[in-house]
């Protein structure tokens, strides 16, 4: 038999029964799970409220920012001209293209001079689609670099004609009209290109735009006769072959006639100088 528990004395508090280990564990677990259940219910409730708010925000016609336009593909052509081949320099216009900053340049004595080709391009290429645009130019110790526009899909007129044998009358008419407008624009700006040929005409295959390029043989337009020829020999006017002089506008018309013959017939009318003399 178990011994009898001693009775508490009168006037003293009755001692509390000691809790068992099982009771302590169950009490702690209940408080733990009660907190977990409350946290889960709260998270579910707040998540539902947030989800409902997002749905309402998406459905509401809020002013949304416009998407930024993607940059279009852009390509350039870089032309390098050795300094020893540059014979003539000119003065850049005040609103012309200046060299890039941050590069060691070799300025001329007056600080505004540039190769004549760059000066001519700065005069005729601004804002006119029929002439190649001069974007930038750099002057290095041994070379002069020109950064020119180049359409993404393009081909010079010589290869354009060879790929087709000859051009239909409608295509030749449209391209020749654009070349005439480019030549007229250059002469109105006082510039003579002096080397009009299919290799110096660039055709944009995407838009059909013809662009006049390569002003390395160009010069200022003058009313008096020229006694020095620069350009391709087979496109030179007959007066240069006979007399050694020529005028700018008639010589340009002669080279344009040869260009038109190549476009519609697919070949050069005069392959040698003696053929020109015999035709005259």
Q: Please indicate whether residue 195 is annotated as part of the active site.
A: yes
Contact 258, 241 (CB under 8 A): no
DSSP string across 225-250: PB-S--S-GGGS-HHHHHHS-B-HHH
Beta-carbon contacts of residue 47 (< 8 Å; ≥ 6 apart): none
181 within 8 A of 200, measured Cβ to Cβ: no
Q: Which of the residues 101, 143, 195, 273 is marked catalytic?
A: 195
HSE of 164, CA atoms in CB hemisphere, 13 A: 16
CA dist 163 and 208 (Å) reads 16
Q: How far apart are CA 151 and CA 262, in angstroms?
A: 24
Distance CA 133, CA 211 (A): 9
Token readout for 233 is 């020999």
**Which residues neighbour 256 within 8 Å (Cβ) at sequence distance 6 or greater?**
176, 179, 180, 183, 196
Please identify every residue annotated as catalytic: 195
């Amino acid at each position: 038999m178990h011994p009898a528990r001693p009775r508490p004395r009168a006037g003293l508090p009755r001692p509390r029964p000691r809790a068992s280990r099982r009771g302590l564990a169950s009490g702690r677990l209940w408080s733990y799970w009660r907190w977990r259940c409350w946290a889960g219910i709260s998270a579910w409730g707040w998540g539902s409220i947030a989800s409902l708010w997002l749905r309402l925000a998406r459905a509401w016609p809020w002013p949304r920012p416009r998407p930024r336009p993607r940059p279009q593909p852009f390509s350039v052509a870089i032309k390098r001209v050795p300094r020893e081949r540059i014979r003539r320099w000119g003065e850049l216009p005040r609103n012309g293209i200046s060299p890039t900053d941050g590069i060691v340049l070799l300025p001329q004595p007056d600080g505004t001079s540039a190769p004549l080709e760059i000066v001519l391009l700065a005069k005729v290429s601004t804002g006119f689609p029929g002439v190649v645009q001069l974007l930038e130019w750099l002057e290095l110790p041994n070379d002069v670099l020109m950064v020119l526009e180049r359409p993404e899909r393009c081909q010079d007129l010589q290869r354009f004609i060879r790929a087709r044998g000859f051009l239909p009358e409608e295509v030749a008419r449209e391209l020749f009209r654009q070349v005439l407008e480019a030549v007229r624009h250059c002469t109105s700006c006082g510039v003579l290109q002096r080397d009009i040929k299919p290799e110096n005409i660039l055709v944009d295959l995407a838009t059909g735009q013809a662009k006049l390029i390569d002003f390395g043989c160009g010069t200022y337009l003058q009313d008096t006769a020229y006694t020095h020829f620069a350009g391709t020999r087979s496109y030179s006017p007959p007066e240069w072959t006979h007399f050694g002089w020529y005028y700018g506008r008639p010589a340009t018309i002669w080279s344009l006639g040869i260009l038109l013959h190549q476009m519609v017939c697919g070949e050069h009318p005069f392959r040698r100088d003696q053929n020109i003399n015999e035709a005259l």
